[in-house]
Amino acid sequence: MANLWILLAVVAVQAALYRPCESLWCNCTTAQCEKNGSRCETDGACMASTSAIDGQEQHIRICITRDNLVPPGQPFYCLGAEGLLNIHCCYTDYCNSIDLKVPSVTTPSGLGGGWGLVELVAVIAGPLFLLCLLLLVGLFLYQYHQRAYNHRQRLEVEDPSCDHLYLAKDRTLQDLIYDLSTSGSGSGLPLFVQRTVARTIVLQEIIGKGRFGEVWRGRWRGGDVAVKIFSSREERSWFREAEIYQTIMLRHENILGFIAADNKDNGTWTQLWLVSDYHEHGSLFDYLNHYSVTTEVMIKLALSAASGLAHLHMEILGTQGKPGIAHRDLKSKNILVKKNLNCAIADLGLAVRHDSASDTIDIAPNQRVGTKRYMAPEVLDETINMRHFDSFKCADIYALGLVYWEIARRCNSGGIHEEYQLPYYDLVPSDPSIEEMRKVVCDQKLRPNIPNWWQSYEALRVMGKIMRECWYANGAARLTALRIKKTLSQLSIQEDIKV
């Protein structure tokens, strides 16, 4: 690139000295020219030269045609004067009228005279060559430096020998996930493996769209994975979700299994990927829309969701411990249904972590995030105590109660089940505003309807009781996820359900 600029500069200077296309008159010493008044017309250059033939000094002046200029248009020197030593070419009328001195042996370049071909080439090309050489050396040093730096960077995160270990050709997604659940760190695959995996996924079909971007089904070594692709302006969401998923010891069978995060820079924009397990049933919302559920499935779904949330909320102390995490956007669309009809809690992008040592929350939580329909009363009226981490857990429990209501309505007991509906479907319009929700939930203190007939079926009766205790206006009075988990475990034993 730099070389090109130098070449352009040289051309520009040459072009300034040279007047192309216009013809000019020159003094001419050839016999033919004498008839024309010792002058000639040319489209090229006038040339003067001196030579000492037989010790006799001779001035030679001639016209040089355009095609004898080398290179054409931007002459470094002019041809057509073979055998002449001391050559001066110029580009104005009669400019070759000057008298050149005979070159002396000691100063072949001829002081005050034109330069010969070799000298001219040497003078022009020499510095140019040196400059190019310097540039090349500079470029080489820069690249070497850069490579050494990159290499050092890579050494910190990447160890190719490990890459091998994790990603040997015959290893499948199952092996990888097994590694994940047993790997010592408890926080997921090493970053370089994540990157390698992400970059060898083949996207298959789009399976969802959201405010952050798109979700795709992808294939990796014969297995399906889900790929959440964030638009570039959602980089912060991408980073935050990847960060939360890689919380130490987060992995749990009822929390969406995270596989990899990758930011691919393709030159024009950055592709932000989150790769996770793929669950063909999709979200709990989709599942309940399509199918009614048996009592057994209802308890399975509810218990597994409670287990996931309990694990998320729980703080585990010790070096291999995990901080308490509050989800803050729990809803049926953010819970996935696994093949075994257990839930996996997903979409941790808005989650907050609790640092119990300093009793602080790891990001400054803004007041009202999440989905308005599922916002707890204290979130809607902004009375939530954001300095207190447990407040966020209580808000999650309120939302879990709503999800339970969605599930229980679809429970097929004694041949009755209701159509799928979102919570508060009968009280607020679709896509309700905060104000609309606040009126219903805080002012009128309304909650989704729990039908009386649920009392006749033990499982539905227990579910209804749990919901009520999730929906208290006072967050602190609500059940904990662990409490709900225990109640539902008992229920499942009672109902003789293998979970």
**Which residues are known catalytic residues?**
329
Tokens 């070096």 belong to 319
Secondary structure element (H or E) that encloses residue 491, with its range: helix 481-494
* Residues near ligand NAG, by CB under 6 A: 27, 32-33, 36, 39-40, 94, 97
Q: Name which of 32 and 319 has its Cβ closer to ligand NAG.
A: 32
Alpha-carbon dihedral angle through residues 440, 445, 449, 454, given to the nearest 10 degrees: 160
Spatial separation of the C-alpha atoms in residues 151 and 183, rounded to whole Å = 26
Give Dmax (Cα) for the chain.
133
Q: Name which of 33 and 386 has its Cβ closer to ligand NAG.
A: 33
- Min dist. Cβ of residue 115 to ligand NAG (A): 21
Tokens 């092996």 belong to 175
- Min dist. Cβ of residue 39 to ligand NAG (A): 5
Q: Helix 481-494 crosses helix 458-470 at what angle (to 10 degrees)?
A: 180
How, if at all, do strands 86-90 and 202-209 pair?
Answer: unpaired
- Min dist. Cβ of residue 54 to ligand NAG (A): 22
Neighbours of 13 (CB within 10 A): 11
Q: Name which of 3 and 38 has its Cβ closer to ligand NAG.
A: 38
Compute the C-alpha angle 463/468/470, nearest 5°: 95
Q: Name which of 39 and 281 has its Cβ closer to ligand NAG.
A: 39
Q: What is the DSSP string of 365-411?
A: --SS-S-GGG--HHHHTT---TT-HHHHHHHHHHHHHHHHHHHHHTB
CA distances from 334 to 262, 304, 305, 328, 421 (A): 22, 14, 11, 11, 16
Q: Name which of 33 and 79 has its Cβ closer to ligand NAG.
A: 33
- Min dist. Cβ of residue 37 to ligand NAG (A): 6
- Min dist. Cβ of residue 75 to ligand NAG (A): 22
CA distances from 486 to 283, 490, 496 (A): 24, 6, 15
Which residue type, as a one-letter code, is found at position 232?
S
Secondary structure element (H or E) that encloses residue 493, with its range: helix 481-494
Say if residues 122 and 130 touch (Cβ distance below 8 Å). Answer: no
The set of residues, in sequence order, having a beta carbon less than 8 Å from that of 159 and lying 6+ positions away, is: 190, 192
Per-residue burial over 170-200, b = 16 or more CB atoms within 10 Å of its CB, e = otherwise: eeebeebbeebeeeeebbbbbebbbbbbbee
- Min dist. Cβ of residue 100 to ligand NAG (A): 11
The set of residues, in sequence order, having a beta carbon less than 8 Å from that of 177 and lying 6+ positions away, is: 257, 259, 277
Say if residues 328 and 392 touch (Cβ distance below 8 Å). Answer: yes
Spatial separation of the C-alpha atoms in residues 343 and 337, rounded to whole Å = 5
Which residue type, as a one-letter code, is found at position 199?
R
Tell me: is residue 228 an annotated ligand-binding position.
yes
Q: Name which of 27 and 304 has its Cβ closer to ligand NAG.
A: 27
Q: Name which of 86 and 237 has its Cβ closer to ligand NAG.
A: 86
- Min dist. Cβ of residue 35 to ligand NAG (A): 6
- Min dist. Cβ of residue 33 to ligand NAG (A): 6
For the four alpha carbons of 307, 309, 315 and 320, in that order, the dihedral sign comes to positive
Q: Name which of 33 and 434 has its Cβ closer to ligand NAG.
A: 33
Spatial separation of the C-alpha atoms in residues 483 and 462, rounded to whole Å = 13
Q: List the binding residues for ATP.
A: 228
- Residues placed in the known binding site: 228
